[in-house]
Structure formats: structure tokens, C-alpha cells
Chain A
Amino acid sequence: MAKGDCSILVVEDNPDDQILTMRALRKASSHSPIILQEDGQSALDFLFGTESSKCSPQVDSIGVILLDLKLPKVSGLEVLRRIRSAPQTDWLPVVMMTSTDEPNELREAYRLGANSFVTKQIDYSKFSEQMCLLARYWLTVNQVPMIGSFRSSRKGSAGE
């Protein structure tokens, strides 16, 4: 399915977690492009473009954002808030990734419009399974609105 070509945007600051997440995701979905952003600000720059180019065309190709809650500079919740408040990104599926299951953070994330909330498991096989499930669900099962010429031309038959 063409939908499998959608990319996964991973926003993760910890190098260990970056490697482990990428490894697990590659095993789960080998052909999906994985974009990595190392902090909240760079993720926002990637999504909204820098000063010169106001909107990044790459937004349309994103199937899901795996957004770490605890990020330097701009926090995960702030990134989520910015994504939800801009019309060109408010539709993007966002999965909050965190080490904790603090009820307050969970509530706040959902209040700000997170689509999903995942506590990263210490047991790596369980974590890999989580990644596998996420990739499969958000890239193959889930349906996103068609926005922009790129998406509509590329996967005309996606909804049928």
C-alpha cells in the first residue's frame, strides 16, 4: 500500500533513545522514511519552516509524529500545542512518548490534543513491540485527511 510510504517524524533528544527507537522502527517498518529531530525547536522549524520559508512541504508526507514529552528548549507539550494551533498542522497525528505515566501529564497531553500517549517500556522487547504496533497502526490502519497536491497526487486511491 502506498500509504506505507508516509514518513514517521521522531522528536527525541536522548541519543540512546534515538538509536533504540530508530532500530525498533526500522525493524517494524523497513520502507517508511524516518525523520529525526533532536529537540522541540528543531521540530517546530521542520514543521513550520524557518523565517524564510513559512511552510514546509514535507508536512504533508508525515504519517505520525512520535513526540517525546521531555525535550530541551521547547517542551513536548509546547510543541504539541503549536502543532494543534496552526491550521496546516492541526490534523497531524501526534503520539506522546514518555518514560513516565504521571496522571497529570497524561491529562495535560490529551487536553492539548494528543492522539495517543505511550509510556516507553524498560524491557526492550516490549518497547520494540510498542514501536511495531504504533508504526503498523498509524501508517497502515489510520486514515488522515488529504492535504496539498503532493498527498492527493501520490495516493489517490488511499481512501478507497
Chain B
Amino acid sequence: MSERWRWESWPLRTKLLLLTASISTLGILLVCTSLVVVENRTSEEQLESELHVIAGILAEQSAAALLFEDSQQLNTVISSLDQIETIEQVCVYNVAGEVMSAMNGAGYEPCPSLDVEPAVGFVGDYYRLLEPVMLDGDIVGRFYLMSRLEVLREHIWTFIVISFSVGVGIQVLLIWVASRLQRLVSEPIVELSNAADRISHEHDYSIRVPVYGKDELGSLGSTFNEMIGTIQQQNRKILQSKDDLERTVAERTSELSLANRELEAFSFSVSHDLRQPLRAIEGFGQALEEDCRDQLNDIGLDYLGRIRAATVRMGSLIDGMLVLSRVSRQAMEVERVNLSIMLGEIVQELQDTTDAVPSEVTIQPNMHVVGDERMLRIAFQNLLENAWKYTSKNEKRAIDVSACEKSNSITIALKDNGVGFDMKYVDKLFVAFNRLHTPAQFSGTGLGLATVDRVVRRHFGRIYAESTVDTGACFYVEFPRPERGPESGLQHQATRQNWREYG
């Protein structure tokens, strides 16, 4: 495994070099070996034929001597072989196989007996031959010759040394040439790899690789360059659009904050500047009524009463609009709110300050939601005031507030036994300035439920209602579960959404 890993981690250059070197080594080795083998064979064959020629000549010369069994003559014949150092032993046998003449090198065994056919050919360090001596077609004896092979062996060794030295030389030359040539292949790849590395680390898309030629490597290089060019271009575009986007966001943000400031100034102006003249109208109306009552007739007093009532009504419209605008733009402070306690307080207040209709109010204990306490108070104050108002003509008032919890939401149901409304007009219920009753029936600004709706929406909830005329109404306020409630990020979104609605 580690071997493999090592091979994989080797640089391409080394791999290529190793590949070339091993192939050339194998080739040179094969060539050298075959040369040596051929040379060895040739040398042996040459030696063999030489010795056979010598043996043939001598056998011919010794044929007559053998016939006459003239040892003297035979010794003379074979002594001529003394000149050849490598010839170790020469024996001449007669037809009966007796040694007629012999020439032995120092320390060598006597001539072999012919009773057993002696081994001939290349055996060990010697070459042996046994030739029949012929005379007129008859065998007259035998000629035995044993030659040392050391000269042959030395020659072969020399040949091996020389050929392998040449082989090594050629190998070195080949490796040098290969190391030059492999660069043609490896250099573009290495450059490509280095460039890819730098681009991926430094994110510098201006880097290009040089393109060599028009082969696959060349086209790889130019394709790589084109690819990086495309990326560079796309990057530039992305950065450009990111800048544009940031600029747009900054512009929009400043526009929004300007609008925010304007709206704040507007609502301050509405709350201060519009209320002041109203107060004056109402105040002087009352002063007129009190101080100059004698000078006004009944019609005058009636008109004055209407002026004052209209003024107060306009005042409450302005107040309602201000509350609606405030719940829309006010930053939310989210916390866990005990609705049951809050509703109890509101009901207590209503019971203390309004009509004397006997009331039975049930509020489920421990209803909790996550949200902005002040906004929720405004919303539920409105809902309870509505319930109170539309039950004010009842003989007995019954209001029930309960919660229904689901896995991802909690729904607060606020049920009363008041006059209710026609479901035909349910769409108009939560739209600002839309009323389902005349001021003569029930007073109101038409802003209360719009405000409730805004508060609930800012809590990512929803409000809906069910009713039948004269039996009562039920308002359902659904909040998402606390853990999925308003978060800072979503809150921003919600605020912006509100701005869009208002803008």
C-alpha cells in the first residue's frame, strides 16, 4: 500500500524517466546477452572446427604409423601439437584400443580407456574429441584429443565485459537523452499542474500557461487557458453585479431610512399639529356652549354639539391611525408573554370603566406566546374592546378566551355572544376604515381590527373570524410556535414588507 502510495506521489518527470530507463535497460540487457550467447556459440564452433581439422590432419599423418604400429613415428606426429598450448592431452589408439602414443600435460590423467566410450564435446572446462583413423576405408585406430577452454572462456569474458560496458555507456547516454526528451511531455503537464495549483490557492485568474505545439498537450494548454479566461470573465461579472447589488442595497437602505424618518416626522406632525387645532375647536366649542349658552337657541346648541362630537371623533381617528402606524414601524422586542395575565388585566380595566352589563369572562390560564408585549397588548385590547362593545346591548355578556396548541402553532380563540356580523363581509373586517356597523349602532374608527391584523402579521401569525348575526363572533389569532417565532433576520424582512405596503 505504501509502495503504491509512493509510486503515485512520485513526480511525473521521475516516472517518465524511470519508464524510459527501465525499458532501455531491458533492451540493452537483451541485446548484450544475445550478443554474448551468439559470440560464445560462434567461438565454440570455431574452436571445434579448428580442432577437428587438426585432428583430421594428424590422423591422416598417423595412419601409416598406426598400421605398422610405429610408436616412434606416432610420437613425432603428435609432438607437433606441443606448439598449441591449449591442447592438454593427445592419445593415439590402435584398432584394439591400446594406447600407441600419448602426449600428456603435467599432472593429467593417463589416456582414457576405450572400453567405455569417453565423453566427447564440451564437458566442463575441456573439449574432447575422438576421431577414427582411416586408411583406405578401414579403421586403423583412433585419435583422442583434449583441449582446455580457458582461452575461449577468457575471450568470452572479455567480450561480456566490453559489451556490457558499451551497454552501460549507451544506457547512460539514453537516460541523458530521455531526461531531455521527457521534458517535452512532462514540462507542459507540470506547468499546467502548477498553474492550476496557483489558481486554486491564490484565486488569481490572470495566470495563463504557455502553449507548446498543436498536439494533445498543446490543445490541453489552450483549452485550460480558455477555461480560466471564461472563469476570469465570469468572476469579473459576478464581482461587478455584487458591487451593483451592494450599491443598490445601500441606496435602498438610505431611501428606506429617509422614508422612515419622513414617516416619523409625519406621524409626529399628525399627532401634534393636527390634534392641536382639533383641541382648539373642541375647547372653544365647549367654552362657547358654557359661556354663551344664553345667546344660542336650541338649533345653535345642537350644531355646536355636533361640531364637538365630530371633533372628538376625528381625534380618535387620528389616534387610531397613529397606533396603526406605530405598530407597523416600531422595532419589536420579543419575549415570552403570558397572555392570560395580560387579558385579565385588560378585562379588569374594561369592567372598571365601561357599562354595567353583567359580564361573565372566562380566560384559559397559562396561555403563552412569544412576541412584543406592547404590541400584543394593543392587539388584544382592541379585540376585547370590540367584544365588549358588540355585547353592550346584551342582557348578559359572555366572553370566552381559550387556546388551541398544535405542533407548530398556537391559536387563541376569542368568543363573544354579541351582535356578530354577516360572513358576507368578512373580507372587509380587517381593512382599515372599513366598518360593518354605522356609528349610530356602534361607535368606532374602523382601525382597530386593521391594527390587530398588523400586529399579528408582524408576529408571523394570522387572524380570521367566524360569526353568525345576533349570536356572537369568534376571532382566531394564530401564532407560530415560540421556537419558530419572530427572529431578528425575519423581523427585518417584516419591517421592510410593511414599509413597502406603506410606501
* A positions within 8 Å CB-CB of B: 14, 16-17, 19-20, 23, 70, 98-102, 120-125, 127-128
Contact = CB atoms under 8 A, between A and B. Distances in A.
B272 A20 contact: no
A16 B283 contact: yes
Given A16-B283, A124-B279, A124-B282, A100 B315 contact: no
29 contacts: A14-B276, A14-B280, A16-B279, A16-B280, A17-B276, A17-B279, A20-B279, A20-B280, A20-B287, A70-B272, A99-B271, A99-B272, A99-B279, A100-B275, A122-B278, A122-B279, A122-B312, A122-B315, A123-B282, A123-B312, A123-B315, A124-B283, A124-B285, A124-B286, A124-B287, A125-B286, A127-B279, A127-B283, A128-B286
Given A98-B272, A99-B272, A122 B287 contact: no
B411 interface: no
Contact of A122 (B268, B273, B275, B284): B275
Contacts of A100: 268, 271-272, 275
B342 to A, nearest CB: 18
A13 B287 CA distance: 20
Interface string B261-294: 0000000100111011111101111110000000
B76 to A, nearest CB: 148
**Which A-B residue pairs are the 7 nearest by beta carbons?**
A122-B315, A16-B280, A20-B283, A124-B283, A124-B286, A100-B271, A99-B275
Given A99-B279, A122-B279, 9 more contacts: A16-B276, A16-B277, A20-B279, A102-B271, A122-B315, A123-B315, A124-B308, A125-B286, A127-B279
A60 B271 CA distance: 35
B311 interface: yes
Contacts of A14: 276, 280
B284 A16 contact: yes
Contacts of A101: 271
A70 to B, nearest CB: 6
Nearest to B291: A23
A55 B286 CA distance: 40
A112 to B, nearest CB: 18
Interface in B279-324: 279-280, 282-287, 308, 311-312, 315
Find the residue from A19, A20, A102, A124 having the highest chain B CB count within 10 A.
A124
Interface string B71-100: 000000000000000000000000000000
B271 A120 contact: no
A14 to B, nearest CB: 6
B282 A122 contact: yes
A98 B273 CA distance: 11
Interface string B52-84: 000000000000000000000000000000000
